[in-house]
Amino acid sequence: MDASKIKLIIWDLDETFWNGTISEQKVAPVKQACDLVLLSSKKGIVNSICSKNDEKPCIDKLKEWGLDKYFVFNSINWEPKGQRIKDTVESMNLRPCNVLFIDDNKLNLEEAKFFCPDILTMLPDKIGELYAAVSMLDKNDEKLSRLESYKVLEKKNKIKKSIGSNEEFLRQSNIHVDFHSDCAEHIDRLHELIFRANQLNFTKVRSTKDELKALLEDKNAKCEYITAYDKYGEYGIVGFYAVKDNTLVHFLFSCRTLGMGIEQYTYEKIGCPKLDIVGDVSVKIGKNEPTVTWINQDNVKTDNEFEDIKNTGFKVLIKGPCDLNQIFSFIKNEDIFDCEFTYVSREKQSLGVAIEGMNHTSQIVNAYSITDEETAEICKLPICDSQMYSDSIYKNKYGMIFISILTDANLGVYRNKNNGAVFAFGEYIYPLTDKAMWKKYINKEVYTANCDFKEKDLQKIAEEYEFLGRLTPKQTAENLRFIYEHIKTDTELVILLGCEREYKDNKLEAWVNRHNDHKEYNSAVRKEFDGCKNVTLFDVNEYITSDDDFNDSVNHYKKRVYYLMAQKFTEMINAHANADVAKQTSKAKLAYLTLKQKIKKIVKPNG
């Protein structure tokens, strides 16, 4: 057995960890087992229990021997062991191949293998050999930091079960992540992480310590390690990355933080360099994955802090990119909402591609009249699918519609040369029809929406579509006017404007002076709808009051900003609902009075 692979030992108790049966009150510790628990803990291997027993006498006995504090995620009850072991492994974010189960009953070992085929198993007579193997490991965790981190995870899991929403739990956890450049001082820990991390090791590069040292000294490489903590405790060093020539050489994280969103947060924070993922990983990351908004934010409580949305009696459509998606994450009473956000296509032609253009005003306008044949033609492109021309905004009756114009200031627009159908895609300064740009798209040097472009794809677009550029502010205003005039009567249209404050850390060519672009778009929309009935312009600039309100771009804000916007959304929807109730009541009262008057005319004085 290769002890270097073991991250967790799960112990049976009766006739394994101790001699005798606890239910008979006659047990004595197995010295080698106790010694192994102490040694393995100091080598960074965690210990747990899976036993068929009553829990209290077992824990009391371990406390008597001073050993209870060395075990986490214990499962002590009378249920079959196989499923319980599987649950423990999954709860600890581990892989079965890194877990060893020790039990004196061969049937229990086989049951564990049935539920976790890759798990390591052992009878108690091999404990001495395992002790010798563990003692030879070149690892040192005298402070028991790994054990302590799993105690934190155990505590979090118990609290998490009491909170319905995983995202709400993450927001309440107050997760903080820090980046550090003094990697040479922690080279041993980083080297260990490089070799031990599997589930969240995206490049699978297993550098030797000398190779790692050379990389850290390379002036053309940027290397940082990541630490994390939340309100439950400290996690220490949980990740490491090394980027050279805008390509990630190393990008890896400890499985202890699986599910916290640290991988995606880090990837976005370092500018989304090229990443060639090798082998299987447990988390999807990329430019097109949802932005992590709960890390390094003020701990905003979302429960009962502002008025819940009432049972309005009407539906609300939320249609737009990330700004509306983030705002909506705080809003309750989801039954009244239809949501149309940027999504990842599941259709064969565009599988895995992020569809952002469906909320561009040009496509919303086109959705009103586009034919099935035109849609089928446009869906031959790998960046389009059949869902991107949703016409629910026109067909369905909504009390309110929230729409954002952010994509209009960014995406390029393309028109079919034969039928005139349009689609919006990509950063407008990189036309898909320009052959000089094709290498950038094929090599993913620019935004590709996760599409693996081939030259034949770009050739087809160039032959069949003309590039119209980015919409002008006037065109956006005209598109919004069309939408306003074609939605159902009496629907309240709420238009989110763009941020006019400069984001000073911008590093993307297409986003230079985007705040000034927003000023022009906002001005055109304000002019178009000045004094217009049933239209509200939602000005985000009332909420962006300092540079600290930005997350990572002029379009992405801190959590507290979205939270305040969600408060306003709730107030607007409830106010509209109250007005609608009053209106309906007024109509009912008028109908009643009219009917009463008619009855008076029909009924004569003598009845």
| Closest among 243, 233, 232, 231 to 179, alpha carbons compared | 243
Please tell me the total count of domains within the chain.
Answer: 3
In a shared domain, residues 35 and 183: no
Q: What is the pLDDT of residue 548?
A: 77
Same-domain check for residues 340 and 203: no
| Band (43; pLDDT cuts 50, 70, 90) | very high
Q: Does 211 lie in the same domain as 105?
A: no
Same domain, 356 and 254: no
Query: Could you report the per-residue pLDDT of 385-410, keeping only the tens digit for each?
Result: 989 999 999 999 999 999 999 999 99
Residue 78 CB: number of other CB atoms within 10 A? 8
pLDDT of 400: 95
Is 157 a domain residue? no
Q: Is residue 412 domain-shared with residue 527, that is, in the same domain? A: yes
Asked whether residue 299 is domain-assigned, the answer is no
Q: For residue 68, is it within any domain?
A: yes
Q: What share of the chain is helix, strand, coil (3-state, %, to 5)?
A: 45, 20, 35
Handedness of CA 441, 444, 448, 454 (dihedral sign): positive
User: Last residue of some domain: 269, 292, 326?
Assistant: 269
The reply to whether 78 and 168 lie within a common domain is no
Number of Cβ atoms within 10 Å of the Cβ of 325:
19
**Domain match, 241 and 358 both:** no
Q: Count the alpha carbons within 13 Å of 95 in the hemisphere toward its beta carbon.
A: 15
> Does a structural domain hold residue 581?
no
Rounded to two decimals, what is the model's pTM? 0.52
pLDDT digits (tens, 9 = 90+) for 170-201: 877 788 888 998 898 889 889 988 987 777 89
Range of the domain at 241: 163-269
Q: How far apart are CA 415 and CA 461, in angstroms?
A: 10
> Which residues of 233-346 form beta strands (DSSP E)?
233-244, 247-253, 316-320, 337-341, 343-344
Q: What is the CATH number of the domain that holds 227?
A: 3.40.630.30
Tokens 């305040």 found at: 564
Q: What is the pLDDT of residues 136-151, one digit of tens each?
A: 998 888 888 889 888 8
Clarify whether residues 244 and 328 are in a common domain: no
Does the pLDDT value for residue 159 go beyond 80?
no
Residues 96 and 101: their CA atoms lie apart, in Å, by 10
pLDDT of amino acid 563: 82
Q: Is residue 158 part of a domain?
A: no
Q: What is the CATH number of the domain that holds 378?
A: 3.40.50.1110
Is 440 within the bounds of a domain? no
Tell me the C-alpha distance between 405 and 470, whole Å: 13
Q: Note the pLDDT tens digit of each residue in 215-258.
A: 999 999 999 999 988 777 777 889 999 999 999 999 999 877 77
**CATH number (domain holding residue 86):** 3.40.50.1000
What's the DSSP call for residue 71? Answer: B
> How high is the mean pLDDT of the chain?
87
Q: Are residues 558 and 421 in the same domain?
A: yes
517 & 389 share domain: yes
Domain co-membership, 231 together with 355 = no
439 within domain boundaries: no
pLDDT band with cut points at 50, 70 and 90 for residue 525: very high
Whole-number Å distance between alpha carbons of 27 and 25:
6
Please give the structure tokens belonging to residue 394.
Answer: 């026109």
Of the candidates 78, 264, 90, 246, which has an alpha carbon nearest to the alpha carbon of residue 177? 264
* Same-domain pairing of 364 and 513: yes
